Amino acid sequence: MREKVRTSCSLNCWDNCGFEVTVENGQIINIEGDSGHPITKGKICGRGLLLKDRTYSDERILYPLKKMNGEFKRISWNQALDEIAEKMNEIKNTIGPLGILHSHDYGNGGLLKNLDKRFFNCFGGVTEVVGSLCWGAGIESQLIDFGNAYSHGPDDVLNSHYAVIWGRNISTTNMHLFNKIKEAKQNGTKVIVINPLFNATAKIADYFVSVKPGMDGMLALGVMKEILNRGLEDRTFINDHSIGFENVSELLSRLSFEDIVAYTEVSKNDIELLAQAYSRGLTMTYIGLGMQRYKNGGNTIRAIDALIAMSGNIGISGGGANYAKLEVGQSFDMPALTLPERAENIRHFTRMEQAKQILTAAEPPIKMLFVTRSNPLTQVPDHKTVKKAFQSVETKVVIDQFMTDTAQIADYILPCSTVFEEEDIYYSSMYHHYVNYGPKIIDALGEARSDCWIWTELAERLGFGADFDYTIEQFLEMGIGDLRKKGFNLEFLKKEGTLPLPVEEIPWANRQFETPSGKFEFVSERAKTLGLAESVQLAFPQESKYVNKSLADKFPYTLITVHPQRSNHSQYYPFIEVLQEIKVEISKDIAEERDLKNGDMVNVFNERGQLKGKVKIAERFHPKTIKLEEGQWAQYGGTANILTSNDVSDNKLGSVLYDCLVNVEKLF
């Protein structure tokens, strides 16, 4: 029998697409977009389509594996779970539960994926990772400025005169926003793209502003200075709804346009154009994740927030500082699901520095590692240190579907099911507020099991089975919590396939901010208490001539390691042949300086490591920039994170993935 079932994409992405899956005799035979989904409207990308191939791939791990004498051998679930539970108890009883590190990311957007935290909390609390490789610096900045990180509803850009896509590549990473921007453009909205790399998003721009990597904060300062010079700032907002603007104007008075043009490598003309767009309004800004992956990333986002605020683009339809949509994840009852109060003790490592911290941890040292929903050996910066640190841990458990670079070094691999083999609900706190229902559509292949099943079985063996003695439906209800009172319920979601969360269409419309002062904070006491700068500063990337001249002399090019169009991070490299070759895209001036032609093989290197790849010259990249795609597997040449630094951003919770100087040499 053939039937069509509505479900969801599970990938870590802005779009959280609705799927319609055709099933015949218990097999998925086709995936297409759910045309009834109000946001994604039947259009999905290649990554979504390939979830079927991932499910049925011959490469999939379908049985628990244990490494014995250097080789993986199939074992039973009982053996795997008994041995892992025994090891956990042994560590708890000798050095304490903090000797276990839970390293995870967001490889799957299901609500019940958060049960890993419930498991480790109920165990007594382990060493957990905090901060984010992805967007940590910007989130922290918006928490400081606004008190939270909210975005406008997807349709509101149709009311904007200008849409500024600042440091994002939406044509590749957020296709439904890209389509919405094209619609807005037809409606008369002018599109401005600010990026060091001219990409497919830039192609639809009315204005493209090419900026020196890591200098966007300075650019925002320049635009504010121009707005002030013209007397076009929104004095009502500044006086009535913000505090501390004097600090920003004082900083601006110390900066000349000559300096700003020299630092940003953006012309005065372009600065004037941006000032005009922002002060005329209504200007919708899509603040990207790219430009906060620098040492000065937190400061950059605070400067851009400040520009959007002082120009009067906050809390109005057609405006906005869209960075994240945290109101989505915050709608669920995470404490009920994860039971934080059950952890007696917790130690935190940052995601960026986890490897360094494993190597130096004492009292207790890390004796056991659990990796869930992530592939740190490919995705975490400073790969050499990550590999060394992870390998040094006595017992390593990886829950995954594939033999990733991280799974390769595991002692136990526990095979988990895919989105089609388990029931959950899916959301993304990035772009829109629709939650998708994902029913269990097919039986799990082989002996793959859901993460939830794995935690339940382990909890039983460890003596807290009662905390997991719930059905999937009960867990989902637990997470939905008080949303029921607002008309969002599981029954209705199952029937409809997707439902909107009750969130504001226009954040901060009432000008009541969630900061300590209740106002937009150009100056923040909270930041000061956290040991951070209280307001926007003059700040540079750490790997730049302004901070480290000798490093910049040795390694003159900035390496930006963006997200691959055809893969979600590392997840599709084994399936797509063209991805298996490393492509080094270089700006024209580098080609001239190093005498390189398209197709030449080069070595990209710095003090952390090196990578080999094939040159492609990009005519319109900002001078001295190189682009690589992240996610590459070791067997196909190695991850870009061989070259990146594991330092943390200025506000301690973000990565500095793109704050990375390299050199290139031609290979023969």
Ligand X SMILES: Nc1nc2c(c(=O)[nH]1)N[C@H]1C(S)=C(S)[C@@H](COP(=O)(O)OP(=O)(O)OC[C@H]3O[C@@H](n4cnc5c(=O)[nH]c(N)nc54)[C@H](O)[C@@H]3O)O[C@H]1N2
Residues contributing to the site for ligand X (CB under 6 A): 12-14, 47, 105-108, 133-134, 166-170, 172-173, 194-197, 199, 211, 213-214, 216, 288-291, 372-376, 379, 399-402, 404, 416, 451, 560-565, 568-571, 630-631, 640-641, 644, 657-658
Closest contact distance (angstroms) between CB of 182 and Mo ion is 24
Helices (H), 95-210: 115-123, 136-145, 170-173, 175-186, 200-203
SS3 563: coil
Name the binder of 400 from ligand X, Mo ion, none, CB < 5-8 A by kind. ligand X
- End-to-end CA separation in angstroms for the chain: 58
> In sequence order, what DSSP letters do the residues of 375-414 get, joined into one string?
-HHHHSSSHHHHHHHHHHSSEEEEEESS--HHHHT-SEEE
Report which secondary-structure segment, H or E, holds 248: helix 245-253
Vertex 40 angle, CA 35 and 43, to 5°: 65
Question: Considering beta carbons, is residue 358 or 523 the nearer one to ligand X?
Answer: 358
Question: Considering beta carbons, is residue 237 or 294 the nearer one to ligand X?
Answer: 294
Question: Considering beta carbons, is residue 134 or 170 the nearer one to Mo ion?
Answer: 134
Name the binder of 106 from ligand X, Mo ion, none, CB < 5-8 A by kind. ligand X
Name the binder of 7 from Mo ion, ligand X, none, CB < 5-8 A by kind. none
Distance, CA of 551 to CA of 443 (rounded, Å)? 55
- Residue 267 tokens, joined: 């012309």
Question: Considering beta carbons, is residue 361 or 653 the nearer one to Mo ion?
Answer: 653
Q: Is 513 exposed, middle or buried (0-12, 13-18, 19+ CB in 10 A)?
A: buried
Closest contact distance (angstroms) between CB of 640 and ligand X is 4
Vertex 51 angle, CA 567 and 174, to 5°: 50
Distances (CA, A) of 207 to 58, 163, 189, 405: 47, 11, 12, 41
Question: Considering beta carbons, is residue 122 or 266 the nearer one to ligand X?
Answer: 266
Name the binder of 208 from ligand X, Mo ion, none, CB < 5-8 A by kind. none
Question: Considering beta carbons, is residue 67 or 526 the nearer one to ligand X?
Answer: 67
Closest contact distance (angstroms) between CB of 134 and Mo ion is 3
Name the binder of 562 from Mo ion, ligand X, none, CB < 5-8 A by kind. ligand X
Closest contact distance (angstroms) between CB of 344 and ligand X is 25
Closest contact distance (angstroms) between CB of 643 and ligand X is 8
Q: Is the dihedral of CA 166, 15, 354, 123 positive or negative?
A: positive
Question: Considering beta carbons, is residue 528 or 620 the nearer one to ligand X?
Answer: 620
Q: Is the dihedral of CA 348, 354, 358, 359 positive or negative?
A: negative
Closest contact distance (angstroms) between CB of 51 and Mo ion is 18
Q: Do 258 and 133 meet the contact criterion of CB atoms below 8 Å apart?
A: no
Q: Which residue has the tokens 């290197």?
A: 605
Q: Cβ-closest residue to ligand X?
A: 290
Name the binder of 214 from Mo ion, ligand X, none, CB < 5-8 A by kind. ligand X
Q: Please list the residues that pair with 611 across neighbouring strands.
A: 604
- Residue 79 tokens, joined: 């053996």
Give residues in contact with Mo ion (CB under 5 A). 134
Closest contact distance (angstroms) between CB of 293 and Mo ion is 10
Closest contact distance (angstroms) between CB of 46 and ligand X is 8
Q: Do 626 and 596 meet the contact criterion of CB atoms below 8 Å apart?
A: no
Question: Considering beta carbons, is residue 280 or 563 the nearer one to ligand X?
Answer: 563
Name the binder of 108 from ligand X, Mo ion, none, CB < 5-8 A by kind. ligand X
Question: Considering beta carbons, is residue 166 or 237 the nearer one to ligand X?
Answer: 166
Name the binder of 166 from Mo ion, ligand X, none, CB < 5-8 A by kind. ligand X
Closest contact distance (angstroms) between CB of 483 and ligand X is 23
Closest contact distance (angstroms) between CB of 513 and ligand X is 25
Question: Considering beta carbons, is residue 134 or 483 the nearer one to Mo ion?
Answer: 134
Vertex 195 angle, CA 151 and 633, to 5°: 90
Q: Please list the residues that pair with 654 across neighbouring strands.
A: 132
Name the binder of 489 from ligand X, Mo ion, none, CB < 5-8 A by kind. none
